[in-house]
Chains A and B, each alone.
Chain A
Amino acid sequence: MAEPTVLSYDTHPGRTLTAALFKDVKNTKDLRLLLAEGSLPEFAYINARVVLDPFVLQLAGHRALAAEGSTRMATKNIHTELVYGVSATKHVAESLKRFGISDDTTAVLVARFDCKPEELEAVSKRIEGQQVALSELGGLVDLELIDKYFKVSKQELQSRGRLDAVTFRVGAKDCL
């Protein structure tokens, strides 16, 4: 059974972001319904196929921490803010739809700030899929979809590569 990854932030000492990756998830439809009802524990539930790299998650996490509690939050809690943060656009509803889980999602990335082990346990139990190490994210990602959502240009791919292109957009999101 793979271990979750715990990320920390120099800029926000003491805060952590715990992330776990699940592939071949069979019950995303149910999960989505439960999430809509509010019966799932508060986590960020992200479509893993459109997160290019753990760095992107960490970067979005930083943004969420910086925005927490202020008027700059675009969504209602820090975890939905994280889902918003990894997205390509400023459009909140679209971001949550495309980057959150939908009925045809097969790989799910869950993340929670300052997470306790039992909280992650509770979520892992609800997900019918195989937990793998976060480092396997690269193998699950849909590059075409990323290029489409993030509108990555050919010149960008050539000059700096996809990760930099996505990083830029995620980092500068509030100004775009």
Chain B
Amino acid sequence: MAGTVEAQGGDTSGAGGAKAANEEPQRITFLGRPALVVTLGTGGGAGAGARSHKRPRHDEAGDEGAQGGIRQVARSMLRAHKLGVLVPLVYHTDVESGRATVEDVAGRPLQALLDDMVAEAEAGSSSGKAAADLDAAAAALGRALALLHDGGQVHGGLGGGSVLLREGDGAVVLTDFRRSFNSIVALDKATDLAGLEAALLAAAKAKAGAQQQQQQQGEQVGEQLQEAAASAPGAAASAEGGGGSGAAAAPAAAATSKPAEIASAFFEKLLNSYRPSSRMWSAVHNKLAEVRARGTSQGGQGASAGAASAGTGSNKKAKTAAAKS
């Protein structure tokens, strides 16, 4: 991940204008604590030139930096923290360069746990450690999101990579607040949840696709080498959900692949925990059905288009929030 670790504060090279926010975070030790230096953008985005007086077009500045820059991210994180949601602590912010030094939380991403679960399921056990951990994580994440949403904040970038499970107690820590903004609108909250579902399913699909490829390659290799006996069971064991050779190809591509099943089950459990913890459930629930329907008809793109159009509705809020900063 990080190349050379530079323990500089980051107040040099603050070039004017947009700062690319796609640099890998540097791992450093900050005052004796493990920390990450992340670049979040200064808040002008790519529109610091000709369009600086206008809101950036929503297809621009895709994943780079936050719309409101480092201020928006830091404020969103503090709001989440005040509500009782676990986020990395912010140790230092450098507004000029758009960099922040934040706590490096020791833990693994949710995606890793989901992958473990897939491995466990394939190995045949359905009530192993990963399953128990996953249930706990779903419940905890549901509660955390309910707290966040009830408090008027939306994460905007939920997925297997931005949810961390803390080492030791497995507590849910939310990271990557680049797209977070404050909103009390049910549609935004629903979009937040639907976005999580879409991200998990997309990851599951990718995993299914990769495993399918692996499996096919494994079969070819097995045929070519005379070790068919050894590698075929090996390939079959590592094949996901689908089991045997050709028969696996079709179901693996469909939404009923093991990773997708697990992701869906996780999301349902999450909703089950979110529902009783949220005071706004009925409003969010209605919108959620809408957003999900919109989303599944176009796959992953639908979810982000939904997010974009929901985003434009709430862009006003994000804009006001950014304007205030």
Contacts and interface: CB of A to CB of B under 8 A. Distances in A.
Q: Tell me if chain B binds chain A.
A: yes
Interface of A: 9-12, 55, 58-59, 62-63, 65-66, 70, 72, 153, 155-156, 158-160, 164-165, 167-169, 171-176
A155 B146 CA distance: 14
Interface in B193-213: none
A66 B30 CA distance: 13
B129 interface: no
A160 B242 CA distance: 44
A175 B40 CA distance: 12
A176 B75 contact: yes
Contacts of B78: 168-169, 172, 176
SS of A interface (majority): helix
Contact of A55 (B31, B93, B94, B147): B31
Q: Lowest 5 A-B CB distances belong to which pairs?
A: A155-B84, A175-B74, A172-B90, A171-B91, A11-B9
B7 A10 contact: yes
B48 interface: no
Nearest to A61: B31
Given A10-B7, A59-B31, 8 more contacts: A10-B29, A153-B83, A156-B82, A160-B81, A164-B89, A171-B92, A172-B74, A176-B78
Interface of B: 7-9, 11, 28-31, 70-71, 73-75, 77-78, 81-86, 89-96, 100-101, 147, 325
Nearest to A11: B9
B140 to A, nearest CB: 12
A160 B74 contact: no
A66 B75 contact: no
A176 B9 contact: no
23 contacts: A9-B31, A10-B28, A10-B31, A11-B7, A55-B31, A62-B9, A63-B92, A66-B11, A66-B94, A70-B11, A70-B96, A72-B96, A155-B83, A155-B147, A156-B82, A159-B84, A167-B89, A167-B91, A168-B78, A171-B92, A172-B77, A175-B325, A176-B78
A160 B93 CA distance: 21
A62 B92 contact: yes
Nearest to A58: B31
